[in-house]
Structure 1
Amino acid sequence: MRARGPLLLALTLLAATPLAAVTSPWHDDGPARVRLLSPWEAAPAAGELWLGLELALAPGWHAYWHNGGDAGYPPAVDFSGTAEVLALDLLFPVPERFDLPGDLVAFGYEESVIYPLRLETDFGTATAAHFRGAVSYVVCASECVPFTSPLALDLPLASQPWEATVDAARLAAARDRLPRPLPDGATVSPAPLATDTAGGTFTLTARGLPVPPTALFFAVHDLVELGRPERDERDDAVLFTVPYTWLDRSRTSEQLALAWTLAAGDGGWEGSSPLHLPAAARPATLPGGPAAIPAESANNGHSPTEPTRWPWFALAGVVGAGLLWALWPRAGEHPPA
């Protein structure tokens, strides 16, 4: 009986110790370290599988969202060397905004970030999954440095998979930071505000959210460049005013599908809303010549089909000048006696 005491104690301690997940070692790139985070002690052999791409950043450095802003680009993961990976989605938590020298802006993450990876796999009857791939990414501080780093993970498979406590919780927290669809009853409504020959401004109004959004981000758009949103709270709504500039100046109007992300706390919401940007007034240009004078200016505010009317005092002045010219003595002539 005395021999069973230490055994029972060891089993009790083992049961109370959180299981460590099978996670790849860090690859050190200097300003950043990167690895694959696994929540699994034994993973399913087929179907949906979640992993995490974890970056640990040196102080002052940041990594990027899917819209990096004025500098940088988002990470890209390649598992083409693992035939059993049938599909891969790299997902992006709600970002932060970084104001950089030279009036530049970046959207991304500092200190550390876990990008959730949603995979579709089929390892058949194998007892282990061997992930082999690479990640291309860039980190920036006062300068930007790109890296391409190897990714490798060997993961046991089981018909009855189970997760490890600690890393499963970390990956779950990263997934909670992913933007969600709008809740029932909430609305996001963009509307044009002002236009000029280069672009203009529009508003985006959010109503009915459980927490007021604190920041607004947009996906990259190939028709317009979007400026910094200005935030304002009005009654039960949060209103953002956004400047925009046409990337193609020949465009006069467009129906846009505006992909947006609203940040609140450690998470937020995302969606897409239609926005019609109206045509701006543009000066007509003659072929090979300067811009034509608008008809209203050329006719002193009158319609181009309306004859020009002279004020009475202007007409009297013209008549009087003509009479003086007719009666004034010419050179070599004498006035009549």
Structure 2
Amino acid sequence: MRSTLFVLAVMAPTLAAGASSDWIQTEGGRVRLVVLPEQADGEIPALLDVHLEAGWKTYWRDPGQSGIPPSVSIPNASGLVLESMRFPVPKHFDDGYSRYTGYDQSVAFPLTLRRKGSAAGSDEVTASIFLGMCKDICIPVQAELTVDLKAAAMAGSGDATVLAAAKAGLPEPPSPDFNIREARWDADGKSLSVTFIAPPQQSDKPPQVFVSGPEGFQFGAGAIPQRVGDAYRVDVPLLHKPKSSGLTGAPILFTAESGDRSMETALAID
């Protein structure tokens, strides 16, 4: 995304009664952390809730040629670990200067927290977050969001509804009519070719695909799948990877959207 100004918004920790942090207000939107009661298996469901003002965007886990991927980290002293951060299906954008991947409406990222071993840890959870909000300017938003875990244990149905809605918007796992047939790197390792089957389209618009890799990997945005028999094939360029990283065994996630359905899976690459 073309940017004419960069402003860093840095906020101190905030603590709110209830199961969510205070909202952090910044130009372009606001952000909060929501935490739900600990489950019987030790999982602590949580949510990074991002509200965008009209005309503003934020980014997916692999923004493409520009942008800041959202990140969340939990300090070791809390006695908690962040096991996962999930992303709903994004959109491809092209502003004439670069292609990038993200969201142009408010978005929520489900998180899974868990206590480390049998350690009781703190009665609070503080998450350090970093993300970008962009319009004519880009605002890198850096903040610490704190929630009282005792209050989270008594979280109301409203917080659970917000998290349930966010999870309902996540891609589904592979199924017989929506899955991967083949994935392989090209000979020079600069492009990833994926053949997949997808449910019937309701229009002439082809499925949308999104690829992300481990830290330091960056894939091109906006590759268009081509029909090949009863399946689709898409070639996604690998724009960058760390010199120290190999392709063999690299964890690559493939996300596809077809009609009103979406699917996400780790690739087993030949």
TM-score over 0.5 (shorter chain) = yes
Higher relative contact order (CA 8 A, sep 6+): 2
1:53 corresponds to which of 45, 48, 60: 48
Is contact 2:59-2:132 (8 Å) kept? Answer: yes
1:142 aligns with 2:142: no
Is contact 1:62-1:108 (8 Å) kept? Answer: yes
Is contact 1:225-1:246 (8 Å) kept? Answer: yes
Deviation at 1:27, TM superposition (A): 0.9
Is contact 1:62-1:110 (8 Å) kept? Answer: yes
Report the equivalent of 2:264.
Answer: 269
Report the equivalent of 2:207.
Answer: 214
Report the equivalent of 2:32.
Answer: 35
2:23 corresponds to which of 22, 26, 35: 26
Report the equivalent of 2:105.
Answer: 111
1:173 aligns with 2:165: yes
Bigger Rg over Cα = 1
Residue segments in structure 1 that go unaligned for 5+ positions in a row: 1-19, 249-253, 276-337
Report the equivalent of 1:182.
Answer: 174
Higher helix share: 1
Is contact 1:36-1:151 (8 Å) kept? Answer: yes
1:90 aligns with 2:85: yes
Is contact 1:47-1:121 (8 Å) kept? Answer: yes
AA matched with 1:67 = D
From the superposition, tell whether residues 23 and 236 of structure 1 become closer, same or farther in structure 2 (CA, over 3 Å).
same
Name the SS of the counterpart of 1:269 in structure 2. strand
Deviation at 1:109, TM superposition (A): 1.5
C-alpha distance after superposition, 1:202-238 (max 9, x if no partner): 653222x45657210111476885463223445532x
TM-score, normalised to structure 1, is 0.59
C-alpha distance after superposition, 1:25-49 (max 9, x if no partner): 2110121201012345xx5598110
AA matched with 1:219 = S
1:129 aligns with 2:126: no
Name the SS of the counterpart of 1:170 in structure 2. helix
Aligned residue runs from structure 1 range 72-91, under 5 A: 72-80=67-75, 82-91=77-86
C-alpha distance after superposition, 1:174-193 (max 9, x if no partner): 12233333124754234679
AA matched with 1:181 = P
AA matched with 1:177 = G
Is contact 1:68-1:106 (8 Å) kept? Answer: yes
Deviation at 1:67, TM superposition (A): 0.4
Structure 2: distance between partners of 1:224 and 1:100? 19
